Structure 1
């Protein structure tokens, strides 16, 4: 096995890669288009003084940070040499829209229906600001705005404001942001004490990964080292339709909540079915030391507690039958709610846009994000579930089915449709701080 040549260089890794978000928090996403290469390089030079690193985890203001990521089109617009562009992985060079069929972004989720500018070559830079509240977010992001405010060759073309309330509820009503893996050398603990830290190379380029090697990184070394790939997706949630489905398939209010939990893998409070399969436990759901501390294989291999096809168990099978490869597909997931919440009990769509801005962080686009999306969320063969799709986030078309293990007869649901619709997204690269400065010092025209 290859040994790491040096420890994790936290001072060169952006905070947005390793640091979990504060609780609660506000966030904003801004997309920039680079119309002039020199202006784009000046933008990165300025941003390199705004972006904070993952070092000094106890520093004041550590929960407020700005991150910057670039698409393949953005790197081209900066004038990155072709040899360097060609050294990025194929999926990144293609871009998310070109990968739509592989991701099952079809039908109403197809790029033809995406929110502009997604699906075009205009998405060049994505700025992300995160802070415990809107006041601190505004103060931090003001410096980010100053970096492009007087640059005529850089244009802000899209913005999405998000927030995570104190109860962390996302639009479907479930507590979100619970699971976070530990990364070797980061000094940041994971949320599941039974889950050993992942090798740093799973999340950051230039280090040993779970395969025992160091994956190829963009070249030159200063460009790729300490960077990572980030997948941004705007996901619209059909909350009223989801509620109507639960109502029409449940025997009553209590059964409705149980059915929702069986589809998600957790109760709405965040309490996992693995630890309280018969009833909700809000105190457990709110306890960050316990609400993710569980496995499946020892006492729930069949899934009488947590169905194998539920959303949470699909997204992270933990120690289930595929445990030998689960760690090869782990990544950091961060979902941030946007739009007004639909009031409790309302079953009719009010026309408002609501959902999640999702960011997936990992060093391997193909075997992390794309594998999980295709094999575990959009399908079930790899998990022994045939062609069944994720009951919450999967691309069902009105004829989807879902099986809940139960004695003596399993419970089967039919007529599942797509409750989550892709509204846009892009594959990006989040460079290290030294790489940001290197990009800002490029010369010549693209």
Structure 2
């Protein structure tokens, strides 16, 4: 559940030019589709962008309910396929140019998560354009999809490689409400809610504005291409929900013990109530109050007695946790637009039914690629930064055979035999251009600085 914020301050960003996905909260419930396209002819690719330009939603009036919207992003190989000049291509960051498969070592995508195990077309050079449609109801989702698909007619040189529907009624496939902790972007007009902290400089999320360093981050050239754009990291996971349920069942004698262990692994109860505010038992009403759901820190819990240091949410956003390996937490923030696909499994189901279900992890930001690579390498697949050694994230890491999870206490409890509850099926790095940049990319005559 993305927290719905109100527009209360005068915006200073070019909201009309920034894509809606950067600021518009995912609705609840939500419906949608992720599509991956290949361009085999420059002119067809440019025509595709020309046709879709008017359908891509801007962030203007992002706080007002909208039944559906469309987002568009382009991979490095997609920019090559569009015939973007070499000087512009070279101005993009090296990790973006390498693509996600090329950065597998840094991401620690090994074993079953390695690129040679990924679903097609991930890991190939054929993934050029990603189109995502979001809606708050099925009728408008299907109408938006019909409008987008109509634009593909008559463009045989634009091939649909993958079409994945997603949606949820408020809970992900593990049965948790999610999407609570999102950064507030300075200049967006958003009013911070309790627990949000101060707004973070816009340049951390949108190119062309001052970042937390006081200066804009490097952006692609020319300025018409880079300004108001951002980067997107897309990672598709298959979730082993029955294995998660079995793990809880094997390590808890009662339903209450199992739910407490589940909360310790995640850092929140399934209702969304954080352990920091409800350490002993779930408080479902708390999970429904936007002004309270995120209003906490870890100042009174340095040992992790309430929220374990290695729990998923504390790793992903340590807040004021004292870190053994120092870093500026504010430059590690990302906008998350993750979506769930497939049916959830009740906690009582201990045998997998073989159906596809999981998570599309989607991160946006001017440093999104750097940050996800850092998170994967340092915070997900290691515990050194909080003094936990080789202990890994209990939910999204690739676990070792001898893995365990520490529940602090007197004495602490080590829960052994933790498994990998999510397997990576593939992913890619994308650039999400501004609306102006989409028009520029579609116009061969406008390709010169």
Cα distance in 1 between the residues matched to 2:108 and 2:418: 16
The alignment partner of 2:36 has SS state of strand
Name the CA shift for 1:291/1:9 in 2 (closer, same or farther; >3 Å): same
Q: Does structure 2 conserve the Cα–Cα contact (< 8 Å) formed by 1:103 and 1:370?
A: yes
**1:238 partnered with 2:243:** no
Q: Does structure 2 conserve the Cα–Cα contact (< 8 Å) formed by 1:105 and 1:111?
A: yes
Q: How many Å apart are 1:384 and its aligned residue? A: 2.3
Cα distance in 2 between the residues matched to 1:269 and 1:365: 28
Moved more, 283-292 or 85-94: 283-292
Q: Does structure 1 conserve the Cα–Cα contact (< 8 Å) formed by 2:12 and 2:188?
A: no
Q: Pick the aligned partner of 2:217 from 215, 222, 239.
A: 215
Alignment partner, residue 93 of structure 2: 89
Alignment partner, residue 147 of structure 1: 151
How do 1:193-272 residues align onto structure 2 when only pairs under 5 Å count?
193-272=195-274
Q: TM-score, normalised by structure 2?
A: 0.94
What is the number of equivalent residue pairs in this alignment? 435
List runs of 5+ in structure 2 lacking aligned partners: 1-10
Q: Does structure 2 conserve the Cα–Cα contact (< 8 Å) formed by 1:41 and 1:439?
A: yes
Alignment partner, residue 335 of structure 2: 332
Cα distance in 1 between the residues matched to 2:145 and 2:235: 21
**1:391 partnered with 2:394:** yes
Q: Does structure 1 conserve the Cα–Cα contact (< 8 Å) formed by 2:232 and 2:369?
A: no
Q: Does structure 2 conserve the Cα–Cα contact (< 8 Å) formed by 1:377 and 1:389?
A: yes
Q: Pick the aligned partner of 1:75 from 60, 74, 79.
A: 79
Name the CA shift for 1:45/1:190 in 2 (closer, same or farther; >3 Å): farther
Cα distance in 1 between the residues matched to 2:379 and 2:67: 32
The alignment partner of 2:426 has SS state of strand
Q: TM-score, normalised by structure 1?
A: 0.94
Cα distance in 1 between the residues matched to 2:362 and 2:72: 13
Q: How many Å apart are 1:442 and its aligned residue? A: 2.1
Alignment partner, residue 3 of structure 1: none
Moved more, 371-380 or 25-34: 371-380
Cα distance in 1 between the residues matched to 2:105 and 2:132: 27
Cα distance in 1 between the residues matched to 2:208 and 2:315: 29
Alignment partner, residue 379 of structure 1: 382
Name the CA shift for 1:268/1:424 in 2 (closer, same or farther; >3 Å): same
Name the CA shift for 1:121/1:272 in 2 (closer, same or farther; >3 Å): same
Q: Pick the aligned partner of 1:39 from 40, 44, 56.
A: 44
Q: Does structure 2 conserve the Cα–Cα contact (< 8 Å) formed by 1:229 and 1:362?
A: yes
C-alpha deviations, 1:57-116, integer Å up to 9, x for none?
Answer: 355x63521000000000000000011011001110000011112111111111111111
**1:319 partnered with 2:323:** no
Cα distance in 2 between the residues matched to 1:441 and 1:226: 18
Cα distance in 1 between the residues matched to 2:396 and 2:225: 35
Q: Does structure 2 conserve the Cα–Cα contact (< 8 Å) formed by 1:80 and 1:442?
A: no
Cα distance in 2 between the residues matched to 1:68 and 1:324: 32
Alignment partner, residue 8 of structure 1: 13
Q: Does structure 2 conserve the Cα–Cα contact (< 8 Å) formed by 1:161 and 1:338?
A: yes
Q: How many Å apart are 1:143 and its aligned residue? A: 2.0
Q: Pick the aligned partner of 1:363 from 362, 366, 369.
A: 366
Q: Does structure 1 conserve the Cα–Cα contact (< 8 Å) formed by 2:231 and 2:369?
A: no
Cα distance in 1 between the residues matched to 2:365 and 2:303: 30
Name the CA shift for 1:375/1:192 in 2 (closer, same or farther; >3 Å): farther
The alignment partner of 2:32 has SS state of strand
How do 1:115-134 residues align onto structure 2 when only pairs under 5 Å count?
115-134=119-138
Q: Does structure 1 conserve the Cα–Cα contact (< 8 Å) formed by 2:176 and 2:272?
A: yes
Alignment partner, residue 304 of structure 1: 305
